[in-house]
Chains A and B, each alone.
Chain A
Amino acid sequence: SQKIEQNSEALNIQEGKTATLTCNYTNYSPAYLQWYRQDPGRGPVFLLLIRENEKEKRKERLKVTFDTTLKQSLFHITASQPADSATYLCALDPGANNLFFGTGTRLTVIP
């Protein structure tokens, strides 16, 4: 069956450290993968998109990698801040014009 798993339901890190979140998928062959941020009681906000032919994508303190062999994407936040505390969702589009979301990782950055 198809699955998108973010294997840490919750992650606590110290301010200033790098947070690394993992997204693994099975039985999908996505053309691209996206990462979103969701705050409590709010809709997701788009952060980054990485295509299957891209190994890495950066945006300010964010970095995403995409390994289609391992079927895994890593999401890094460097120099983390308490304001980065939120739930982060990976999502992929298998080419059917819609998005399927992972289970999410709730990140807490401790001052």
Chain B
Amino acid sequence: GAVVSQHPSRVICKSGTSVKIECRSLDFQATTMFWYRQFPKKSLMLMATSNEGSKATYEQGVEKDKFLINHASLTLSTLTVTSAHPEDSSFYICSARSGTSATSTDTQYFGPGTRLTVL
């Protein structure tokens, strides 16, 4: 199956710093990428959807100035957590889909996740 990578897999940072997480689709072109957040023993919560070359669409309650998303190419999306605080500590997971239709059933392929710890 298709492969999606994330880097870094783990990051520890000080409060107030910014952290960038990369998500790459390795063997297919991802017209749409998604960013999720997962708290321990909880399900994935969709944060935002991004289409290549367009501004990301954020879910209700997600601060777009706090979580900057860039989808500059068909194989790369980045999530930057700006001025991170301890409450931003979480498991961040990206996924990628190649379908272009709003009703596409193309499978979403998930990255392995990035564990962010803000001290």
Contacts from A to B (Cβ < 8 Å): 31-32, 34, 36, 41-46, 49, 51, 89, 93, 95-104
Question: Which among B43, B46, B105, B113 is the interface contact of A49 at CB below 8 angstroms?
Answer: B105
Question: Which among B6, B43, B91, B95 is the interface contact of A103 at CB below 8 angstroms?
Answer: B43
Q: Which residue of A lies closest to B103 (CB)?
A: A95
**How would you classify the secondary structure of chain B's contact residues: helix, strand, loop or mixed?**
strand
* C-alpha gap A95/B113 in the complex (Å): 25
Question: Which among B1, B34, B102, B113 is the interface contact of A99 at CB below 8 angstroms?
Answer: B34
> Known: A49-B105, A99-B108, A103-B43. Contact between A43 and B49, CB under 8 A?
no
Interface range on chain B: under 10, 10 to 19, 20 to 34, or 35 or more? 20 to 34
* C-alpha gap A42/B115 in the complex (Å): 10
Confirm or deny: B112 has a beta carbon within 8 angstroms of a beta carbon on chain A.
yes
* C-alpha gap A98/B33 in the complex (Å): 9
Q: Check if B32 sits within 8 Å of A97, measured CB to CB.
A: yes
Q: Check if A104 sits within 8 Å of B43, measured CB to CB.
A: yes
How many whole Å from B93's CB to the nearest CB in chain A?
Answer: 5
Question: Which among B102, B108, B112 is the interface contact of A42 at CB below 8 angstroms?
Answer: B112
How many whole Å from A22's CB to the nearest CB in chain B?
Answer: 15
